[in-house]
Each structure stands twice: as structure tokens, then as C-alpha cells.
Amino acid sequence: MKMRNLATWFAAAALLAGAGTAWAAGGDLGQAEKQATNWTAIIMFAVFVIFTLFITKWAAARTKSAADFYTAGGGITGFQNGLAIAGDYMSAASFLGISAAVMTGGFDGLMYSIGFLVGWPVVTFLLAERLRNLGKFTFADVAAFRFEQTPVRVFAASGTLVVVAFYLIAQMVGAGQLIKLLFGLEYWIAVVVVGALMMIYVLFGGMTATTWVQIIKACLLLGGATFMALMVLWNFGFSPEAMFAKAVEVKTGIATAAGKAPDAAAKEGLSIMAPGGFIKDPISAISFGMALMFGTAGLPHILMRFFTVPNAKEARKSVLWATTWIGYFYLLTFIIGFGAITFVLTNPSFLDAKGGLMGGGNMAAIHLANAVGGNVFLGFISAVAFATILAVVAGLTLSGASAVSHDLYATVFKHGKADSASELKVTRITTVALGIVAVLLGIAFEKQNIAFMVSLAFAIAASANFPVLLMSVLWKDCTTRGAVIGGFLGLISSVGLTIVSPSVWEATLGNPKGSALFPYASPALFSMTIGFVGIWLFSVLDRSARGAKDRAGFLAQQVRSETGIGASSASGH
Amino acid sequence: MDDDLAARIARNPKYQELKSKRSSFGWLLTILMLVVYYGFVMLVAFNKPFLAQRLGEGVTTVGMPIGFGVILFTVVITGIYVRRANSEFDALADAVVKDALK
């Protein structure tokens, strides 16, 4: 495998994992080998699709106004929304990638899970309920609440579209590779199928259909993963120590077979129980941790979900449920990874001639499904993995489309005077356009290394969207000028620093090793600082009349964010 | 909301109480979360041997319960906030709304 990875401190683990880095919130599954056509998986996936199309039909009948389309009429409960948020976050890449990373690196795999989980409490403590009380359809509603609408909306729509674009490309390429791998379909067929189905869900069913597809998928994924983890634990009499001991034994055996001396082999076996070469330089570690932690609080498709619940209480409950399900899911992937060491690495029928996994390193969970549940369960897990990508892509598209129609069209061009019907029309046109663009980009990027794209999406979300959102909600003296200039500085610096970082400059653009100007794995530590300082500086220096008005508007905004008085109520039904 | 109403609500001592309680509790928990997460990252970066120590006779290391502890802590701390907000903060907010609409 090539040393092409988005993060140097993830490189060791991901390299071992085989087929490139895998990302909790989406990502690259690397170049996959085409497998034999798997009919069980295809039939199960077809059942899922037919079922979700019925849901879309039901949702379409309920989707009349713009509010129905963007927020499912505000009628989703906290529990349901928690599952949907968890669904947005538990991608196929996280399921396959983290379990593969645990299979290869043991303890190091746990580091991925923790990084992706710790952003949720911050969202809960600082933003969730305030978002619900201030916003209507998009996070720009909140960021622009007391500011001059046009510049802030333009910024927020740019932030949204850039994040969505990178995230979407990563998902589409991941989908194509995964489906080639699991179903034995051609890459372009897979990409077109994902694009077409996603358009149907979003166009006709809006947020209602997207949410329910996400909820169903989350349940299937959690159910399937629970079954696998239980089967693994059952084989060890539900003793984690027995599971770890056997895994260490297997790893030691593999090292011995590779010709290592007994001492060295024993050491290598035990290495899965402790941190290995995961974190090399602390700056990269902190910077990456910041991108993951605060990026979560700036992802537009996640933020949008807070407007689908009726009030602040349900918004809070939904993050608690989401955190619980995501945390539980990461426990499962950890057990699945250790199970794969014992049941996959010791079974010659899952290994190729060189001792690697058939179909690439990310197949650990798929082979384990076969080992513990036979061919039917293998088909089930493959179908769930496909459904997962589909649901995530639908959520992303919806959020991109709403930025164009609600923020740009209705607010910037029509100055808030667009009627619901024409706004919906623009959303639908945008959805089709985004779908076509996503399919074309997915095909164009087939052979490219896109592993950096999800990390870029997180870094941009953390450096542009999150600072503007946080400062506009919590800081009295923030002004339009400060928010827009600081926000764009965060956006530009995060994109710029990523381009000159080793993972893009050297690995993707092919410049010589060591020529990257920015030595660290993630720009977030620097670009977030630039974003926050920019907002602060240009707000403090702002002596304009507009700035005075922005500051004066804080009191009313704060009262509404704390009490919910005047907040958009649930459901227009 | 008009500015008079906002100013009237802002003068309500219950509103002041809600605002300061929610804000200090939220930031306190945020800082706790940051300390726990970055503490863990620093432990991994600077003291790997500590995490690699074995617990008792078996192969399980100190790092395992600590790693899982961070996951559990994340869920529990979120639960603690939501619990207090759903009871105490919401009750205060309801009282403020009631006073405002009198």
C-alpha cells in the first residue's frame, strides 16, 4: 500500500489497515478490487430500497411547504432525531474502517473513535438548544440572526457548499469503491445508482424521507453490529480478557510465522493492547483533535437536524441520544475489530496469497460477518453498508440545496420575500444539479486519492462555520463585519493550509517529499485561531453604524436563545 | 421580539439566574471535556509505557479501561447536562416566559 494518508499520525495505523484511511464520518475506502457479484447482498439492498421508496411516497404526501421540506415540519422527536444524527455520523467508512484499524492496530483503533465522539458534548453544552431557539431552516438563520443578512448569508452558504462538496465527493468515491467491493458492480454503475436514489429521496420526500431513511439505516447498522459483537463475545464466554488474550496469541503467531524471534514476536503480539506509533508530534495530534471536536459543531447537515425537533428540550435530548448511540457503536466496532483478529486472520479462506485480507484491509467486518453469520448475514451487512452511504449522501445534498434556496435565493436575491412554492422549486432544481455534479465528480475522482477530503471538510467546518456560529450566538460585541471577514479568513486559511500540507501537496499533487510548506496533519489549530482572532479583531475595530446596530441587537437575540420566546414553532400542519 | 419586551425580560432576576447558571454550567462541562480528552491525547503522546502496563495477570492493559472510560465519560457528561437543563433550566425558562407574557 502507498503511504498516502491525510494524517501523518494516522498513517501507521491506516497503512497497516491496508486500503487507505477510513473515516468515521465518511471517507475513502481506497482502491478496491472488484468482487464476484453477490446476489444475496443485492436482493437485500433491493428490499431496503423498495421499502424506503414507500417511505418517500408517504413523506411526499406530507411535504407541502418549505418548512415540511427543510425540517420535516418540525415534528421529529428527540429520540428519532438522535437516531438520525447518529445515522449521519455512523458511515460505512467508520463501520468498516474503524473495525479494520482495530484489527490491525488494536488500541490505536480506539483513538479514532474517541476523537470523533468528543465533539458531541460541546455541541450540547454550547449550541444545541440555542440553535433550536434561534434558527428556522439552516444554521445561517442563527449566524445571521442580528446581522446584516446578505453578507453573512453569502458567507454561510459558501461555508456550507464547500463543506458539503468535499464531503460529498468523499462519500461518492467511497460508495463506488465499496459497492464494487461488496456487490461486484462496476464503479460507475454504483455511483449513478447512489446519485439517482439520493435524488429521489430528497426531491420527493425532503427532510421527512431523508430522516426516516437515516433512522432505518441507523437501526439496521446498530442491530447488525450488535449481533456481530455478541457472537464474538459469546465465543469467548463474554470475557474481554479471553478475547484480548486470544488476539495477542494470534498476532504473536503471525509475527512468528513471518520469521520474527520469539521475543520480538511476543512484543508485537502485545503491541495491540497499548498505543503504538499513532501520535508522533503533539502539534498534529492537538490540531487534528480540534478539527474533529469542533468540526462536528460546524457540519451543516448535522446542524440542520436541530431544526427538525419541536423545541429546545427535544434538541437537547436528540444530542444525548446521538452521543449514546455513537458511543455504543464505537464500542461495537472495537469488539468487531478484535473478533476479526481471531476469526478472520486465522481463516485461510479470507486471506489472499500474501496473507492480506481478500478484497483489501477494510473488509475485516465483512469477512467477520461471513464467519459469524454465514452468507445471508454477509449479504445483510453488505446491504446495510450501501444503505448507509445512500442515507449520508441524501442528508448532505439536502443541506447543500437548502443553503442555495433558503440562504441565497430566498434571503439574498429575494430579500426574504420569496414564497414557499418558488423557494421549494429552487431547492428541487438545486437538488438535481447537486446530484448530477456529485455523480460526475464521483466518476472524475475515481482514481484520485480523496482521503484528505473528509478531514478538510471537518477542518473547514471547525475554522469557518463553528467560530462564526459560536461568536454570533455568545459574544455581544460581534458585528457583521467581524463575522464575515473572520469567517472567510478561517475558510481560506483552512483550505490553503490543507493544500500545502503533506497529504495534498506531496501525496495527491505528487510534489517531492519534504516540499510541503505546512508540516502538520491538520490545519485546524492554526486556521481556527485565525478565524476566531479575525472575528474578534474586525468586530472590535468596527466603528460603523451597522456595527452599533449589531451590538444593540444582542440583548433580544440572547433573550430568545435562552427562553425560546419567538422561536419558530413546530409543524405547519 | 420587540426591544421593550427583551429589555423587560432581561431585567427579570429569574432570567439573570437562568442565563448565568446555564452559561457557567455549560462552560464548566466544556472545559472538563477538553481536559479529559486532551489529557488522554497527551498521555498517549508522552507516556505510552503507563498505558501499556498490565492489569493483573492477564494481557489487559491500563490503557483499555482509560480509553473506554473516555467514551463513557463523554456520554455521561452529556447526560448530566441534559438532565439538569431539562429540569432546572427549563423550569426557570418557563417561569421567565410566564412572567413576560403576564
Asked whether the predicted pLDDT for residue A19 surpasses 60, the reply is no
B41 touching A (Cβ < 8 Å): yes
Position A545 scores a pLDDT of 93
Quick one: average pLDDT of A215-241?
Answer: 95
A32 vs A486, higher pLDDT: A486
For cell 459543531, name the residue.
A297
Domain residues for A77?
9-58+67-446
Retrieve residue B71's grid coordinates: 467514551
Classified as helix, coil or strand, A42 is helix
Q: What is the pLDDT of residues A459-486, one digit of tens each?
A: 999 999 999 999 999 999 999 999 999 9
A79-83, A221-225, A246-250, A518-522: least confident range: A518-522
Into how many domains does chain A fold?
1
pTM: 0.89
> Nearest C-alpha of chain B: how many angstroms from A324?
6
Which residue of B5, B7, B77 is in closest CB contact with A121? Answer: B77
Retrieve residue A110's grid coordinates: 480506539
Asked whether the predicted pLDDT for residue A332 surpasses 90, the reply is yes
Nearest to A35 by CA among A372, A448, A370: A370
B40 touching A (Cβ < 8 Å): yes
Alpha carbon distance A231, A239 (integer Å): 12
* Domain assignment of residue A111, yes or no: yes
* Domain assignment of residue A108, yes or no: yes
Give the CATH number of the domain where residue A183 resides.
1.20.1730.10
Find chain B residues with C-beta within 8 A of A312's C-beta.
90
DSSP readout, A155-220?
HHHHHHHHHHHHHHHHHHHHHHHHHHHHH---HHHHHHHHHHHHHHIIIIIHHHHHHHHHHHHHHH
B4 touching A (Cβ < 8 Å): no
Alpha carbon distance A504, A449 (integer Å): 9
Q: Best mutation site among B2, B17, B22, B44 for testing chain A: the one with the most A CBs within 10 Å?
A: B44
Q: Best mutation site among A98, A111, A118, A296 for testing chain B: the one with the most B CBs within 10 Å?
A: A118
Position A75 scores a pLDDT of 85
A14: left (phi over 0), alpha (psi -120 to 50) or beta: alpha
Nearest to A525 by CA among A329, A276, A294: A294
B71 touching A (Cβ < 8 Å): yes
Quote the ipTM score: 0.94
With bands split at pLDDT 50, 70 and 90, how would you rate the model's confidence at A31?
low
Q: Are A290 and A524 in contact (CB under 8 A)?
A: yes
Q: Verify whether the Cβ–Cβ distance A126 to B30 is below 8 Å.
A: yes
Alpha carbon distance A554, A472 (integer Å): 9
Q: Verify whether the Cβ–Cβ distance B3 to A317 is below 8 Å.
A: no
Alpha carbon distance B30, A539 (integer Å): 25
Q: Sign of the CA dihedral A258, A260, A265, A267?
A: negative
Classified as helix, coil or strand, A1 is coil
Size of interface A-B (CB pairs under 8 A): 159
Alpha carbon distance B89, A177 (integer Å): 48
B102 touching A (Cβ < 8 Å): no
Q: What is the dihedral of CA A403, A89, A213, A22, to 10 degrees?
A: 110
Count of residues making up chain B: 102
Position A171 scores a pLDDT of 84
Q: Verify whether the Cβ–Cβ distance A279 to B100 is below 8 Å.
A: no
Query: What chain A residue is nearest to B10 in terms of C-alpha separation?
Result: A559
* Domain assignment of residue A502, yes or no: no
End-to-end alpha carbon distance in chain B: 15
* Domain assignment of residue A401, yes or no: yes
Query: How much is the CA Rg of chain B, to the nearest whole Å?
Result: 21
B92 touching A (Cβ < 8 Å): no
A320 vs A23, higher pLDDT: A320
* Domain assignment of residue A203, yes or no: yes
Q: Verify whether the Cβ–Cβ distance B74 to A316 is below 8 Å.
A: no
Q: Are A495 and A460 in contact (CB under 8 A)?
A: yes
Residue B54's beta-bridge partner residues? B61
Quick one: average pLDDT of A252-276?
Answer: 89
Q: What is the pLDDT of residues A348-392, one digit of tens each?
A: 888 887 778 877 777 889 899 999 998 889 889 988 888 888 888
Q: Which residues of chain B have pLDDT under 70?
A: 1
The residues near A218 (Cβ < 8 Å, ≥ 6 apart) are A83, A84, A86, A87, A90, A325
Q: Are A386 and A178 in contact (CB under 8 A)?
A: yes
